[in-house]
Amino acid sequence: MADTWLTSLKTAGPQEGFELAIKLSRMGVKYTQPSAEIRDKLRPEYAENADSLTAASQVVATNFQTVAAANRYWTDK
């Protein structure tokens, strides 16, 4: 994957930051498993699994912490 899609962690506010955290998480999966066919095949298995969904939420939360820190929590400290 040679496309440059992440040019900055800076966002206008928390909502945009959360959306970036989701994008980071999704791109992590895409880089880990580049085959869309395999990702599509596996999706039904984790889509209804509470543990898998909780793990995905944890990844998003970690990425949101990173984005928030990069944006100094959207306030001057």
| Tokens (6 digits) for 71 | 């944006």
Nearest 5°: CA angle at 27, between 5 and 20? 70
Residue 77 has pLDDT above 60, yes or no: no
Are 74 and 18 in contact by the 8 Å Cβ rule? The answer is: no
pTM: predicted TM-score of the whole model, two decimal places: 0.88
Amino acid 74: pLDDT:
79
Give the type of residue at 52. Answer: S
The 10 Å Cβ neighbour count of residue 21 is 22
Residue 7 has pLDDT above 70, yes or no: yes
Give 9's pLDDT tier (boundaries 50, 70, 90): very high
Are 60 and 25 in contact by the 8 Å Cβ rule? The answer is: yes
Amino acid 1: pLDDT:
55
Tens of pLDDT, residues 34-57: 999 999 999 999 999 999 999 999
